[in-house]
Amino acid sequence: MLGGRMSKPSFDTLEKIKAQYPQVNLEWLVMGNGSPLLTRTNTYALPPEPAPTMLAEPPIKPLSKPAPSQAEAAELRAALAECQKELAAWQEKAETYRQLAEDRQTIIELMKKAAR
């Protein structure tokens, strides 16, 4: 809300915001695209997934359960690798959201300082 009415910010208003907060990404402010701040990379795309790592077989197998067959072991390793990839993707998403929250807080703090 600008000037007591609902409207889109004018070009002059956007220029003033950019002059006061040069680190704020105007495309994000107006369109919601990209990241809020220009000091970091402007995209939060997930990096390519690393190659899955296979865990080595333990040197001693438990006595209460027979060892899995070759096919079962391969299936278990494939399932484990898939879980590791999914975990890595979720960890990256969590980091992305943490960064976005940090950027938002930085913008809020900058606006509070400017209002003083």
Give the whole-angstrom CA distance, residue 21 versus residue 32: 17
> pLDDT tens across 67-111, in order?
778 888 889 899 999 999 999 999 999 999 999 999 999 999 999
pLDDT category at 34 given cuts 50, 70, 90 is confident
> Residue 44's pLDDT is what?
44
pLDDT category at 18 given cuts 50, 70, 90 is confident
CA 99 centroid distance within chain: 6
